[in-house]
Amino acid sequence: ADSEGNKVLDIINPINDLEWISNEIVAWVFTNVKQKWDSVVRRGRSKLLGLFSGYKQSQSFVEDIFTAVENFVRENDGRDSVFDKLESFDEGDLYRLVSAFVMARFPMGLALNKNDILSSAPFIEEITSKLPIHGCFVAQDLSADKEMRFIRHHILHQSIASTASNFEGSVWRCLQKAFSLRSPVLVFPVSEMQTYAPLPGLNNFATRDPSLPSKGFISC
């Protein structure tokens, strides 16, 4: 489908989707900050710091980004102490700052699915050869369908232990790469928070065997 959700027959390069997602996130933060820019100019660096800290990051994290941007501007534009002269910021300066923040705050790892389809090979090669790009820092090619079929087959036949050495585990490698970017926040589809009962119909999904985490696993 295209960006409007319409079904299309042409092959679309997924790197364009990645660029679109990245631009949307940057535009979201950029618009939020720009709307408060008059207040930022009046109150200075501390106000700007507070705006970025509002995205659930410590002030020290944001200060590191400020320092990196300040060093970049000094080395490339010859301007010193730009955060002490916020009235001189133009939209390009603000966009640079927001982009740097978004890349650090919301790094992306890509699951390059359907690697079992021949037409996907050039797209996988293009994306992995250009990392990092558009906020994506790691990527893993995989076939979710292939791995699900493997797991389903061996759970049903109770033979997964004896064949684990033949398991590609690309989904797991993808998760490991994502964990290298940010610590995970574990969430599970439950119907309520007292007993952690799963949503109806999820117990038998994929394996026809209860496989959702227990209350004890969630609590840890």
Structure tokens at 188: 């599970």
- CB atoms closer than 10 angstroms to residue 130: 13
Q: How many CA atoms lie within 13 A of 108 on its CB side?
A: 21
Tens-binned pLDDT, residue by residue, of the chain (220 aa): 556 666 665 667 889 989 999 999 999 999 999 999 999 999 999 999 999 988 888 899 999 999 999 999 999 999 999 999 999 999 999 999 999 999 999 999 999 999 988 889 999 999 999 999 998 999 999 988 888 887 777 767 665 455 555 555 788 888 889 989 988 776 767 777 787 776 765 555 544 444 545 555 445 4
Is the preceding omega at residue 122 within 30 degrees of 0, hence cis?
Answer: no
Task: Tell me what pLDDT residue 210 has.
Answer: 47
> What are the distances in angstroms from CA 42 to CA 36, 84, 85, 118?
10, 12, 11, 57
For Cα atoms 59, 61, 65, give the angle at the middle one, nearest 5 degrees.
110
Cα 21 from chain centre:
10
Q: Which residues contact 166 (CB under 8 A, 6 or more apart)?
A: none
